[in-house]
Structure formats: structure tokens, C-alpha cells
Amino acid sequence: MSHHERMFHHEHAHKLDDPERRVWLPVDEVLEALGLGPGMVVTDIGAGTGYFALPMAAAVAPLGRVYAVDLQPEMLAELRKRTAEGAPVELVEADAARTTLATGSQDLVFSANVWHELDDRNAALTESARLLRPGGKLAIVDWRTDVDQPPGPPLEHRVGERLVVEQLLGRGWTDIESAGVGRYGYLVTARRPGPGGS
């Protein structure tokens, strides 16, 4: 199965704005679980049109920053339109595995409903570890595999919570926590591996 079959195409961007989504994936619940606060520097991998990146920017303002990384320039163009004047959001057109952001610069690397779209999750983890400051956290929100109903990608495209946890454990990430989020999702968080791991 190729990446292009799984990738959420920008022509469907409007689906990310479905008002129902606010009910089944409440932004506040996620932001609270992440402990986001003023001054934090965050990368949102696969930020799309900013469902999380924009409220995150409001939470870390004025001194913090959100780097909104996405492969599809059309998504970033839409995100730019939605960004309030002066909001601390930087658009980065790049792949999750090669963000070009500075080493050790991030307090949090976040991704929502993107993990299952990635071809090389190991490369994305290596890049995330590189971006994080010592003690920095990774947070992955994605679709549960035990609820097979719309909305969401087909079951065979999903990457379950257990697989994510196992992959993180295998690569030396620590303090791994995992919980349900919203109606169909999970949130896995972990702390950056020490020197030698990724």
C-alpha cells in the first residue's frame, strides 16, 4: 500500500472542518492532556489546515511558537489564511522525516491523524527525537483500530495504539503513556530517548 493511497488529499480539506469533529475530537481535551502553556515551542507534524496548530498557537502565545509542518502546500496555504494577525505560527513545507527545524529546539512534537499516513514511521521518530530538547515530549493522536465506522480512514490503513507504543519502547523512548481521546482516537505520549536512541 503506497503512501499516496493513505495520504489525506487536500481536496478533502473541508472534512477537517466538519463541526461534528469538534464533538468527536475535542481540541481542548487534547491541549489540556498535553499541558500546553505560554512560551512553549511546538511542532505540529502534518498540521493540515490548523485544527490543532491554531489553538496551540493561542495557548503558547505570545512568546511561544508553533511550527506547522506539512507536505502539501495547499494545506499550508489554507492554514495561512486562517492564521490571526500576529499569531506565533511558522509554516514549514516539509516531510515529517526532514523538517529542517533546529536540533533540540522543541518542547513538544505533536501529530494528529497523520501517523497512519506515514511511510517511514521510524524516520519520523528519529526526526522527532532530533527536534526535541532533552526531556521534550512526543504526542501522537490517531485513529483507534477497535472502532470501525465513519468518520476516519479504513481499518486497514490505521495504526493501532499498541503498535505505536511498541515502536516507541523498541526505540528507547521513555515515560510512555497512552489513553483514549475523543470518541474514536488515542493519544500516546513519550519522552525523548537519551543519547544513542531515537
Q: Which residues would be at the binding site for ligand SAM (CB under 6 A)?
A: 7-8, 16, 45-48, 51-52, 69-72, 75, 95-96, 112-114, 117-118
Three-state DSSP class for residue 116: helix
Tell me the closest approach of the beta carbon of residue 134 to ligand SAM, in angstroms.
25
Q: Hey, what's the cell of 25? A: 475530537
Tell me the closest approach of the beta carbon of residue 46 to ligand SAM, in angstroms.
3
Tell me the closest approach of the beta carbon of residue 157 to ligand SAM, in angstroms.
11
For ligand SAM, the closer of residues 1 and 196 by Cβ is 1
Tell me the closest approach of the beta carbon of residue 56 to ligand SAM, in angstroms.
11
Tell me the closest approach of the beta carbon of residue 126 to ligand SAM, in angstroms.
13
For ligand SAM, the closer of residues 12 and 196 by Cβ is 12
For ligand SAM, the closer of residues 118 and 132 by Cβ is 118
The count of residues in the chain is 198
- The DSSP code sequence of 131-190 is HEEEEEEEEEEEE-SS---SSSS-GGG---HHHHHHHHHHTT-EEEEEEEETTTEEEEEE
Q: How far is CA 156 from CA 6, 90, 167, 190, in A?
A: 10, 33, 18, 25
- Cβ-in-10-Å burial (0-12, 13-18, 19+) of 136 comes to buried
In angstroms, the CA 193 to CA 198 distance is: 6
For ligand SAM, the closer of residues 43 and 175 by Cβ is 43
For ligand SAM, the closer of residues 48 and 136 by Cβ is 48
